[in-house]
Every structure is written in C-alpha cells, then in structure tokens.
Structure 1
Amino acid sequence: MRHVPASIELRDIASCDGLNSQRSIWSIAWSCLSTIFLCTWVAVHPNIHFRLEKQDQKWYEQWLWEPLHEFFTHKLLLFLWALLVPEYILAWAVRQYVQAGVISKKGAPLIVFERHWFLIETVPKWSRCHGFFVIMGGFHLFRLPADTPSVCLPLKSFEYSTFVIPTGRYLRRDEIPVCPLRFEDLPVDILELVVPTETELRDRGKSDALTKAIVLVQTVWFIIQCIARRMQHLPLTELEVVTLAYAMLNFFIYVFWWDKPRNVECPIRVYKRSTASHEESGGTAEEWSENWALRWMGMIFFYIMGSQDRYVTLSKQYSVPMFWSGRIATRDLGPAGIGPSILGAAFGAIHCIAWSSEFTSRTELFLWRISCIAMITVPCIVAIICVWWAADHIMPGKYIDLLGYVARLCIILLLLSAWLYIAGRIATLVIAFTSLRSLPPAALMTVNWATFIPHI
C-alpha cells in the first residue's frame, strides 16, 4: 500500500489555504505523454528517406498502402528507437553535428599549384546547415533518359565533368535514380551551381526556429514543474520521473540538431548521362565478418559506438541509412561518444529519484531498481570505451595500453549486457504506467506557485 510521505503531514496540506488544488490521473498522464511525444517524435530530425515516385498508382496504393508502409517501416521504427534508446539518438545527433562542422569548414581556400603559378580555388562558403543537408542525403544522383539533350558542366581546369545539365524537353518521371551523393562526390565547380542558400534549405524543412522554441519551452516548463514539486516536498509519480529523463535529453538533442532541416522529403537532383558511370569517392567500405557470430557481435558493437557507416557503400544504396552520419574520422568517434554516454548515464540516474518510492508490489520495486542500475551501468561502459578510443589516438603509451585492457573487458561486458539495458527501458515504461492505478494523495496535489512569489 502506498502512503503519504512522512515529510507531508495533514497540517501541511491544510495550511495551503485552498491554494493547492487536486489534479487527476488523466491530467498527469496527458502532461507526461505529450512531453514524451515531443521528445521522441517531434524532436527527432530524420535523414531523407528517398522514395521513388511511382506512376499510375491506384487510389488505395497512393493514399493507403504507401503512407502505411512508410509509417511502419521508417517513422515508427525511428520512434521506437527514440523511445527505448533515447541516448543513441543524442549520440547520432552529436556525430552529425561534428561531421556537419567538418563539411562547413571546407570553405577555406584551396591552393592548387600549376607549374610556376598557382590558383586559389575556393569551395562555396557553407554553413553547418549545409553540412547537415549533405549528410542527411540532400543530393541524389539521377541518370537522364537515353537520348536526352544535355550539356556537360565544365570545370575550372578546362576539363568537362561527368555531371550534366539537361537542355531538351523530357519527362522527369523517366529520370533514373542512382544513389545519394557524399560531399566528396561533387566537384567544387558543381557545388557552386547546385548548392542552395541557407534560407532555401530552411524553407525545405518542416520546422522553424519558433516551432523548435515552443518544443523547448514545453520541455523546460515540465522540468521546472518537477523541480517545484520536489522543493515543496510533493512526490513525483514514476511516469513523471521517466518523462523528466526524456525532457533532459531532449534539450541536448535540440541543441545539436538546431541547424538541421527537419522532415525534408525530396533531395536536390544532380544529373549524369544514362551511359555515365559513378564511383564513390574515398576508400572502399569495410566488410563484415563472414562468421555469423562475429558478424552479429561486430554489428552490435559498431552500431553502439556509431561507426557502422564505415561498412556502408553509399553508391550501392537507394537512400541514406536511417542513422547515417557519414564516415566520421576514427579520431573523432571517441570524443563524440563520451558526452552522449555520460548524459545517457544521467538519464538512467534520473530514474533513481523514484528509488525509495512506495510501489504497489515488491516485484515492481525490484525491477525498477535493477533497471536503474542497468541504465546507468551500460552507458558508463560505453563512456569508458570512448575514452580509451579517444586516448588511443591522442597519446598512445603504456597507460593507454592498461586502459586498453579495461576497454576490452568493457567491450565483452557491453555485448553481454546490451539486452539488459533494453529490458530495463521497457520495464520502467511499463511500471510507470501501471503505478498510476494507486497513487498517494500527495501525488495528486498541484504546486502552490504563490510560495515562490517574493512578498513582504
């Protein structure tokens, strides 16, 4: 049986002079669910999920089958990731932020020596918003239909590139999609022609600064309410504790994705002739192990660490992968993962607010505490691995070798305990809702905001 905490006595409740009102279970659930929805659906800025425009579709395919297929195979899957592993979404946002910064810095002059003279060749000055747009699959290669009149785009070196501009009339539905393009796949001269302005990029997104500010205000207001309840010794329900953890992570997700266009559906088309070939710039992608056990362990580890993109050949993909961040440099992977891992451990630590709460059964109490330990431990293990990864590229030495042994042990523990983290997340969500069936009277009291107003 739940009971009113000892710090809240009847005389304390009666002394509020009617300023404290009662809130219902439905109002608690609505406030928490709306905030969780903002943190797991609205806050996520997905990559462009390219889909081929099909012609002559029947009405049920266009209005029923295609939207449902897109929802269940992409949007719902991304929502479940954000719901069950929100710190992974934060790590993804950090990786994209780092990679977008790398692309934006490539606007510095490039000095090209030609015998006894040199040229200063400048990449168009890009903002971080441009970098995000490239990473999310903003440029897509298409082949023109056969016999379509076109002109090759000349380069400053007086050579002709394989990219073209169509000059004749043709049906755009006959264009053949090939693959998304990386920043390195587009020559400097081509970028000068196809790069949109930052205003045009923001216009493509389905969210502006005002919308993002409203979401942040909503989550910050929820955090303030939780802090005020603790200051007045009013208990938080388990569902509010879970929502508070989401709100904390959501703030950082929005900070790193602030410049990323949201819900862009159509990339910019870049053309080549129907007979032209395309080879992806940079080194070839790595291959997964042929042994199924090593393959699965490798996939689990590299996806957790965020280095799975090195195994993806983008020129063979129809669309950028869901969590594509580009082939981020190995030296940047460790530092990019330390912060999200620490915040992930803080996400689990927030659940410990309900460590001493009165649960309806000892089983729920036991599951909640075990889940809290798992949600703190697993991100800490990832943080140790990231520290070793970063230190190994900065100052290799005997101390780093010692840390390497610890990191290898952590890798084994990570592979064994990853499933426990997912189970803990599911358990806390289930218990948070089932605990609403029996709440202490003090949990239904609202905050007396008048006590925070300075008065004489």
Structure 2
Amino acid sequence: MATSVEGLQADSVGWQSNPNRRGTMAIIQSSIFTILACTWSIQHLNVPSQNDGFWTKLLRRCKWTLLTILLPEFLMAHAVFELTMGLSTMRAMQTAVILSNDREGAANNIRVVYPWWRRKFPWWRGEKVDADNKHQWTLTHSYYANMGGFCVESPQSSVDGRKEDQPCIALTGRQIARYWKHIDLPLLSERAISDKSKADFFTKAIATVQIASLLLSIIVRTARGLDFSQLELITLAFAACGVFTYVARWYKPQNVDTATTVNLRAEADLEQFEKMKAQEYDRFWQAVRHVPGDSERIYEGRIPNDYLPQYLPEYKTLAGILQVHPALFALTIISVVVGSLHLIAWNFQFPTRVEQITWRTAALITATEKS
C-alpha cells in the first residue's frame, strides 16, 4: 500500500503493463543486443597455437567480433569460401587415398563420404555419414584439418624430447593429402571431433530468439502498414549475414583449443618436415588488396583465421594480365547483396531532408563500392 503526501489513501499498486508504444531506448537496446549476439555466436575461430593463453584467445575473438560488426560481409564471404575449401579438401583426400591404394596395393581404411546434399540419391545408394565410424573422412574432418586441427611434430622432438623448441606444425587439408604417404593420421570419428568442439549453444539460442523476434516484428508492422526504424533495418542485415554465415559453417567445429598430433612415418625425414613448414596459403586481406602470398614464409604456429589457399588465376584485360583471387568475386557479390538491403529504407521518413539524402548516398556507396 502507498499513501500520498497529503495523507490521503492512494490506490493499491499492482501489475503495471508497459506502454503500447515503442520507445527509442527500447529499439536501441534490442538492436544492439541482437547485433552483439549474432556477431559473437557465429565466430568459429581456428585452433590456437599451443603457446596462446586465455587472454590471447579472448582478445582474438573480440577482434573478430569487432571486425564482423564493421564488415559483416567479410566474414560471410570467408565462410562461403571455407565451405568450398572443405569440399576441395575432400576431393584431394579422395585422390590421395586412391593413389595410395595403387602404390601400396592394399586397401586403405579411410573412405571419403560427402554430405548428403553433394551425393546423388544417397537414400537409394545406402550411403550415409556414420558419426561413430573412425574410417570415414567427412566434411567435418576437412573443416577440422583446415582450421589447424591436425599438427605434426618434428622428428627431432620425438628423439630428444624438447617439444618446446620444435613447435607442432599445423597442416591444412591439402597438405595432409599431399604428404599422405609420409604421415600416420589418427583415426577420428565425426563424433570425436564434435566432442572437441565446444559450441556456445546458449549464445546461439539467444541470437536465434532475438532474430526471430526482430523478423516477426518487422513482418507484423509491414503487414499493418506501420513503419520500422532504420536501425532495425541495419540489424536485419546483420541477422541475415549471421544466419547465412552459420549455415555455411554448419559442419565447422567451434572453440577447439587443442590440435590432434600426427606422427611422421619411419621413412619420413627432417627434410620432409621442413617442407611442411612452408605456408602454402594466402590471407583474405591479401586477396582483397591483390597481394599474392609467399609460400616461403616462416611458420607462425597456427593457421590464421582468414586462411585461403594460394590460387591466382590470370585474366586478360585491356590493361594487360590481371591476377584476381576468386575470393574477391565472392566478397564483391555478397557485399552488393548485403549493401542493397539498406536501399529498402529509400523512402523511409527521416527527421530532415539532409539525413534522407545522406542515407541514400551511403546506401548506394555501400551497395556498389566493392563492384
């Protein structure tokens, strides 16, 4: 019970409903929370170096979250290219296993099994991925390899025991296929890799609820002829990028802290190990800036999160021969699509004419700057 200052008895205070109008602060809080939940939960970073501590890993994830907020199309384009790299790794592994069988004259235990959407009539042919089968190489294995999940120790470290002087060398999927006859790859089932993955289902659930709530709100308001804010439109663009990025990384493990050790075979020597240390990949930023990678770089201890295979096809132009990484085409297409979402607010109401022109100009630049 509460009384007024005049001593008169006031009405009892019970349940008070929220106002039926949305406030500015409520829209801002909901949008920021949705953006943070989306950008944080979709981070599937590569396996860290064995010398990385807690704060190094945390700062690295914060850095990539901030990068996703600033350039959501960058992470989405890289996720799509990671998927193509995973499928390419499966083809390379299939070739390596076949060649190994031909040379050794004996059946190899590893069998490459593609995901159901890459197989023709899998229900009729009886092909399926067995999560407990250690003799299958799946798309999850390809992701695990390309993120630095398999590492090989130096032959010297196994002799003198000084592992800290000879760091474990992370091998990409293509390197595993190339040096297939020189290594003894541990048999890991898809379930074993999933157990190493520590997916943040709670954060993803929160992000899913926030995205569903935002999408439902926009659909209902549009159906009723009501406007929604420009901030909600930007949040919707982030949500769309987050959903497509997560779908592209469906088979990629998350938050894997330690790699699986791969042993060199007896006939492998230190020279083969030194060849494995060559970084035969590009960085996404190098592809964007048209800077070719250097296969003679010194090993840095882990596979970077913007890893791309070295691939620079040549294109004939009026100015001569141009080398462009295919990742740049993927980034261009996705940037145009994501940037075009801002054009939805072309006829939205703005406080002033200047703000409307500024929004339209920025939307056009965002949709066309990469093209």
**Residues 385-412 of structure 1, C-alpha deviations (whole Å, 9 max, x = no match):** xxxxxxxxxxxxxxxxxxxxxxxxxxxx
Change beyond 3 A, Cα 1:276–1:374:
same
Q: Within 5 Å, give how 1:52-451 maps onto structure 2.
A: 52=51, 67-72=54-59, 74-105=60-91, 106-107=93-94, 109-111=97-99, 118-121=105-108, 123-125=110-112, 126-143=137-154, 148=159, 174=164, 176-186=166-176, 187-188=179-180, 193-207=185-199, 212=204, 215-216=207-208, 218-271=210-263, 276-277=270-271, 278-280=273-275, 302-304=286-288, 310-311=293-294, 313=296, 316-327=299-310, 330=313, 338=329, 341-379=332-370, 381=371
**Residues 278-311 of structure 1, C-alpha deviations (whole Å, 9 max, x = no match):** 2336998599xxxxxxxxxxx9984328x86843
Identity percentage over the alignment?
23
Shift of 1:191: 6.3
Is the Cα–Cα contact under 8 Å of residues 100 and 135 in structure 1 kept in the other structure? yes
**Residues 237-259 of structure 1, C-alpha deviations (whole Å, 9 max, x = no match):** 12101101111111211111011
Change beyond 3 A, Cα 1:110–1:310:
farther
Whole-angstrom distance in 2 between the partners of 1:147 and 1:358:
69
Whole-angstrom distance in 2 between the partners of 1:24 and 1:34:
16
Whole-angstrom distance in 2 between the partners of 1:68 and 1:52:
12
Shift of 1:127: 0.8
| Partner residue, 1:45 | 44
Change beyond 3 A, Cα 1:349–1:337:
same
AA partner of residue 110 (structure 1): I
State the SS of the aligned residue for 2:351: coil
**Residues 175-223 of structure 1, C-alpha deviations (whole Å, 9 max, x = no match):** 6314321234444467664242111111111217787566445424422
**Residues 133-158 of structure 1, C-alpha deviations (whole Å, 9 max, x = no match):** 11111122333776847xxxxxxxxx
Is the Cα–Cα contact under 8 Å of residues 89 and 174 in structure 2 kept in the other structure? no
AA partner of residue 224 (structure 1): L
Shift of 1:99: 0.8
How many residues are aligned here?
A: 314
Whole-angstrom distance in 2 between the partners of 1:253 and 1:25:
29
Shift of 1:84: 1.4
Change beyond 3 A, Cα 1:250–1:313:
farther
Shift of 1:91: 1.0
Is the Cα–Cα contact under 8 Å of residues 206 and 264 in structure 1 kept in the other structure? yes
State the SS of the aligned residue for 1:46: coil
Is the Cα–Cα contact under 8 Å of residues 136 and 325 in structure 1 kept in the other structure? no
| Partner residue, 1:427 | none
Shift of 1:346: 2.4
TM-score (norm 2): 0.70
State the SS of the aligned residue for 1:355: helix
TM-score (norm 1): 0.58
Structure 1: gaps of 5 or more residues: 1-17, 54-65, 150-169, 288-298, 382-456
Whole-angstrom distance in 2 between the partners of 1:202 and 1:309:
34
Change beyond 3 A, Cα 1:284–1:335:
closer
Whole-angstrom distance in 2 between the partners of 1:93 and 1:199:
22
Change beyond 3 A, Cα 1:219–1:328:
farther
Shift of 1:347: 1.6
Is the Cα–Cα contact under 8 Å of residues 39 and 247 in structure 1 kept in the other structure? yes
Whole-angstrom distance in 2 between the partners of 1:355 and 1:93:
30
Change beyond 3 A, Cα 1:339–1:81:
same
Is the Cα–Cα contact under 8 Å of residues 94 and 336 in structure 1 kept in the other structure? no
**Residues 26-56 of structure 1, C-alpha deviations (whole Å, 9 max, x = no match):** 3212221121112211112122231416xxx
Whole-angstrom distance in 2 between the partners of 1:281 and 1:176:
13
Is the Cα–Cα contact under 8 Å of residues 284 and 313 in structure 1 kept in the other structure? yes
Whole-angstrom distance in 1 between the partners of 2:43 and 2:286:
22
Whole-angstrom distance in 2 between the partners of 1:244 and 1:44:
18
Is the Cα–Cα contact under 8 Å of residues 284 and 327 in structure 2 kept in the other structure? no
Whole-angstrom distance in 2 between the partners of 1:40 and 1:226:
21
CA RMSD of aligned residues (A): 4.0
Change beyond 3 A, Cα 1:148–1:363:
same
AA partner of residue 276 (structure 1): L
Change beyond 3 A, Cα 1:29–1:45:
same
Is the Cα–Cα contact under 8 Å of residues 99 and 328 in structure 1 kept in the other structure? no
**Residues 65-124 of structure 1, C-alpha deviations (whole Å, 9 max, x = no match):** x5445444x223212221111111111111110111122232365146979x95554644
Whole-angstrom distance in 1 between the partners of 2:210 and 2:183:
39
Structure 2: gaps of 5 or more residues: 1-16, 113-136, 315-323
Is the Cα–Cα contact under 8 Å of residues 206 and 262 in structure 1 kept in the other structure? yes
Is the Cα–Cα contact under 8 Å of residues 135 and 182 in structure 1 kept in the other structure? yes
Which has the higher mean CA deviation after the structures are superposed, 236-245 or 74-83? 74-83
